[in-house]
Amino acid sequence: MSSVRGNPLRDPQDQRLPRVAGPCSMVLFGVTGDLSRRKVMPAIYDLCNRGLLPPGFGLVGVARRDWAEQDFAQIVHDAVREHARTPFNEATWSRLCEGLRLVPGDLADAATYAELARVLADLDQVRGTNGNHAFYLSIPPGMFPVVVEHLKSSRLAEPSGDSWRRVVIEKPFGHDLASAQHLNHVVQEVFPSGSVFRIDHYLGKETVQNLLAVRFANAMFEPLWNANFIDNVQITMAEDIGIGGRAGYYDGIGAARDVIQNHLLQLLALVAMEEPLSFDADDVREEKQKALRAVRLPRDLGKHAVRGQYATGWQGGVPVRGYLEEDGIPPSSRTETFAALRLDLDTRRWAGVPFYLRTGKRLGRRVTEVAVIFKRAPHLPFERTAVQELGNNALVFRIQPDEGMTLRFGAKVPGTSSIQVRDVSMDFQYGDSFVDSSPEAYERLILDVLLGDPPLFPRHEEVELGWRILDPVLDFWSAKGAPEPYVSGGWGPHGQYAMIERDGRTWRRP
Ligand code: BG6
Which amino acid residue places its CA nearest to atom 10 of ligand 1?
239
- Rounded to the nearest whole angstrom, what is the distance from the C-alpha of residue 203 to the centroid of ligand 1? 12
User: Residue 258: CB within 6 Å of ligand 1?
Assistant: yes
Work out the mean pLDDT of the chain and round it to a whole number.
93
Evaluate if residue 88 carries a pLDDT over 90. yes
Spatial distance between the Cα atoms of 196 and 190, rounded to a whole number of angstroms: 10
User: Residue 200: CB within 6 Å of ligand 1?
Assistant: no
Cα torsion angle, 261, 263, 266, 271, sign:
negative
Where b means 16+ CB within 10 Å and e means fewer, 102-139 reads bbbbebeeeebbebbbebbeebbeebebbbbbbbbbbb
Range of weakest confidence among 28-42, 288-302, 328-342, 383-397: 383-397
CB distance 89 to 77 below 8 Å? no
- Rounded to the nearest whole angstrom, what is the distance from the C-alpha of residue 472 to the centroid of ligand 1? 23
Q: Which CATH number fits domain 25-201: 3.90.1150.10, 2.170.150.70, 3.40.50.720, 3.40.50.80?
A: 3.40.50.720
Question: Which pLDDT band, with edges at 50, 70 and 90, does 70 fall under?
Answer: confident
Domain extents in the chain: 25-201, 203-375+458-501
The one-letter amino acid at 152: K
The length of the chain in residues reads 510
**Ligand 1 atom showing the smallest separation from residue 202 Cα:** 14
- Rounded to the nearest whole angstrom, what is the distance from the C-alpha of residue 222 to the centroid of ligand 1? 30
Which pLDDT value is given to residue 192? Answer: 96
Spatial distance between the Cα atoms of 163 and 510, rounded to a whole number of angstroms: 48
Evaluate if residue 9 carries a pLDDT over 70. no
What's the gap between Cα 433 and its chain centre?
24
Instruction: Assess whether 263 carries a catalytic annotation.
Output: yes
320-371 tens-digit pLDDT: 999 999 999 999 999 999 999 999 999 999 999 999 999 999 999 999 999 9
CB distance 491 to 359 below 8 Å? no
Residue 479: Cβ within 10 Å count: 7
Q: Is 399 left (phi over 0), alpha (psi -120 to 50) or beta?
A: alpha
Of 77, 201, 263, 460, the active-site residue reads: 263
Cα torsion angle, 29, 34, 39, 41, sign:
positive
User: Residue 403: CB within 6 Å of ligand 1?
Assistant: no
Q: What is 203-375+458-501's CATH superfamily?
A: Dihydrodipicolinate Reductase; domain 2 (3.30.360.10)
